[in-house]
């Protein structure tokens, strides 16, 4: 295989193959199935017209099924939510859609104003003094918060609750390797953090305690006690909070959080094959110098007119890169814009209603599911709009059958928590109509009845 437009000579290829310890190109590709290696260009169909290609691709795309074609009860950190049409209209204005990042920031007053509004509303929702211009996503915001705690306390260990999203914990562990951060998991009891065992872990070596409220299982922890445990050890209290719950739940700042992070995808951003998402990060004023990313401030120009400016900029992007405290040099400006417009259109009342409807419907569905023979809630205690169901039928089979009935019933937990292999996580929000809830329960009843018949 030699292509004239690939610049490597035979000698260079031989050298590279030797370096990785294989004898030939065929050996290198031995993991690729034979039928693909023998692929011939002859197999590609002849040219088609634009119209034919459009039809072909439309047919192919038609084989996909979107979550919107189902009654979806999937959650676990990714949320299909209602988004007001104003979000997309503003998002697609060319002034916003084309701007990657404000390189001549003060010229981009509109972009800076949006970021300022995003920061302001995130700070208000979380009860913090300030927020940055956004992060890649909630998972990467987690290690950034841990590193902040490291820098502030000059300690290099964090304790993270096992009820934090398992993938967030994986990202945290991956990031931790570089700077030598030690990550310790705090064990659970009935889905909630085991307070006694947590106290034992919170030594004077711990920089921060990371908890998620509501937890990955939807459970609402009593935050004040956790804050006290963290602060008694001289550690920062870091809360991962789903902002859709903060219209109803107390702001983490009110119960003692020092840093609040999370995922704002649910605000105006679609569930789109897993991204792009938009993380947020907020903290107390005294930690502002340790906040990664950028912060936009409001000021007045030489003529006394209100304007916006990058108040704190990342070292990582401009000066003194070698002193960078974080690898975050971009924010998710367009996704944060969607979240900003969403919050502005919904308003305080809207965000309260959103949380309220979600919690009411989730509790109604949970109660109804528990009345179906064999089903129960696996983890007792207060929950918001997500909860863990223990199923009498094998979970993959149950979820498969629900899907056949047009219901995405939940997410199996066995991959993350083997001890919960007979359980799955159900998420309910404003898009799940009362009729959807009824159909869910009726379908469960029908499935268990037929399973019982089958068993006889």
Partner 1 sequence: MIPQDLKYTKSHEYVRLSGDEATIGITDFAAEQLGDVVFVELPEVGRVLKKGESFGVIESVKAVSDLYSPIGGTVVAINESLNDEPSAINEDGYGDGWIIKLQAASEADLADALTPEQYQALIGA
Task: Cite the DSSP H helix spans in 177-296.
Answer: 195-201, 223-232
- Which of these segments, 35-43, 130-138, 312-320, 418-426, binds partner 1 (CB under 8 A)? 312-320
- Interaction between residue 321 and partner 1 (CB under 8 A): no
Dist CA 131 CA 264 (whole Å): 13
Tell me how many residues contact partner 1 (CB under 8 A). Answer: 7
**Taking each helix axis from N to C terminus, what angle separates 166-176 and 138-153, rounded to the nearest 10 degrees?**
50
Question: Residue 285 Cβ, how far from partner 1 at the closest point, in Å?
Answer: 11
Closer to partner 1 by Cβ: residue 35 or 154: 154
- Interaction between residue 180 and partner 1 (CB under 8 A): no
**Taking each helix axis from N to C terminus, what angle separates 109-126 and 333-370, rounded to the nearest 10 degrees?**
30
- Interaction between residue 320 and partner 1 (CB under 8 A): yes
| Segment 152 to 171, residues that bind partner 1, using CB under 8 A | 154
Question: Residue 204 Cβ, how far from partner 1 at the closest point, in Å?
Answer: 13
Question: Residue 122 Cβ, how far from partner 1 at the closest point, in Å?
Answer: 23
Closer to partner 1 by Cβ: residue 53 or 298: 298
User: In Å, how far from its chain's centre is CA 356?
Assistant: 21
Closer to partner 1 by Cβ: residue 154 or 456: 154
- Interaction between residue 323 and partner 1 (CB under 8 A): yes
Question: Residue 323 Cβ, how far from partner 1 at the closest point, in Å?
Answer: 7
| Residue in this structure with the two tokens 């704190």, named with its chain if needed | 312
- Interaction between residue 456 and partner 1 (CB under 8 A): no
Dist CA 141 CA 162 (whole Å): 17
- Which of these segments, 1-9, 37-45, 87-95, 317-325, binds partner 1 (CB under 8 A)? 317-325
Residue of 319, 370, 449, 452 that binds partner 1 (CB under 8 A): 319
Question: Residue 290 Cβ, how far from partner 1 at the closest point, in Å?
Answer: 9
Binding mask of the shown chain, residues 253 to 292, with x at each position contacting partner 1 by CB under 8 A: ---------------------------------x--x---
Closer to partner 1 by Cβ: residue 93 or 289: 289
What's the residue count for the chain?
Answer: 456
Closer to partner 1 by Cβ: residue 315 or 363: 315
Preceding peptide of 214 cis, ω within 30°? yes
- Which of these segments, 223-231, 318-326, 352-360, 430-438, binds partner 1 (CB under 8 A)? 318-326
Closer to partner 1 by Cβ: residue 13 or 315: 315
| Residue in this structure with the two tokens 């437009």, named with its chain if needed | 5
* Tokens matching residue 242: 């789903």
Burial (CB count within 10 angstroms: exposed 0-12, middle 13-18, buried 19+), residue 110: middle
- By CB under 8 A, name the binding residues for partner 1: 154, 286, 289, 315, 319-320, 323
């Amino acid at each position: 295989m030699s292509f004239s437009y690939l610049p490597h000579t035979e000698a260079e290829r031989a050298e590279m193959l030797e370096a990785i310890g294989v004898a030939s190109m065929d050996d290198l590709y031995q993991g690729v199935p034979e039928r693909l290696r023998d692929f011939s260009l002859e197999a590609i169909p002849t040219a088609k017209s634009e119209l034919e290609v459009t039809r072909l691709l439309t047919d192919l795309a038609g084989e996909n099924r979107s979550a919107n074609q189902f009654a979806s009860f999937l959650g676990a950190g990714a949320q299909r939510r209602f988004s007001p049409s104003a979000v997309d209209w503003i998002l697609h204005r060319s002034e916003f859609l084309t701007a990657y990042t404000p390189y001549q920031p003060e010229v981009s007053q509109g972009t800076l104003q949006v970021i300022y509004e995003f920061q302001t509303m995130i700070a208000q929702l979380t009860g913090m003094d300030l927020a940055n211009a956004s992060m890649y996503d909630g998972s990467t915001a987690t290690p950034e918060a841990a590193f902040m705690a490291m820098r502030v306390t000059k300690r290099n260990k964090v304790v993270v609750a096992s009820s934090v999203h398992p993938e967030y914990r994986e990202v945290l562990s991956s990031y931790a390797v570089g700077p030598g951060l030690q990550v310790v998991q705090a064990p659970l009891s009935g889905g909630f953090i085991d307070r006694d065992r947590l106290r034992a872990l919170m030594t004077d070596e711990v920089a921060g305690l990371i908890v998620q409220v509501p937890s990955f299982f939807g459970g609402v922890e009593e935050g004040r006690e956790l804050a006290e445990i963290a602060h008694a050890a001289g550690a920062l209290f870091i809360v991962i909070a789903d902002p859709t719950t903060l219209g109803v739940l107390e702001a983490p700042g009110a119960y003692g959080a020092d840093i609040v992070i999370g995922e704002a995808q649910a605000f105006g951003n679609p569930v789109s094959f897993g991204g792009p998402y938009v993380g947020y990060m907020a903290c107390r004023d005294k930690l502002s110098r340790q906040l990664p990313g950028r912060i936009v401030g409001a000021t007045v120009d030489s003529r006394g007119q209100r304007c916006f400016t990058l108040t704190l900029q990342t070292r990582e992007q401009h000066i003194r890169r070698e002193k960078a405290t974080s690898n975050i040099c971009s924010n998710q400006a367009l996704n944060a814009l969607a979240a900003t417009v969403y919050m502005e259109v919904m308003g305080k009342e809207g965000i309260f209603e959103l949380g309220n409807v979600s919690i009411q419907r989730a509790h109604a569905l949970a109660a109804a599911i528990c009345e179906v023979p064999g089903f129960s809630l696996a983890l007792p205690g207060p929950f918001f709009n997500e909860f863990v169901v223990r199923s009498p039928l094998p979970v993959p089979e149950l979820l498969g059958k629900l899907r056949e009935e047009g219901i995405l019933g939940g997410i199996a937990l066995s991959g993350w928590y083997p001890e919960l292999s007979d359980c799955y996580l159900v998420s309910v929000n404003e898009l799940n109509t009362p009729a959807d809830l009824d159909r869910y329960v009726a379908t469960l009843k029908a499935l268990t009845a037929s399973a019982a018949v089958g068993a006889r």
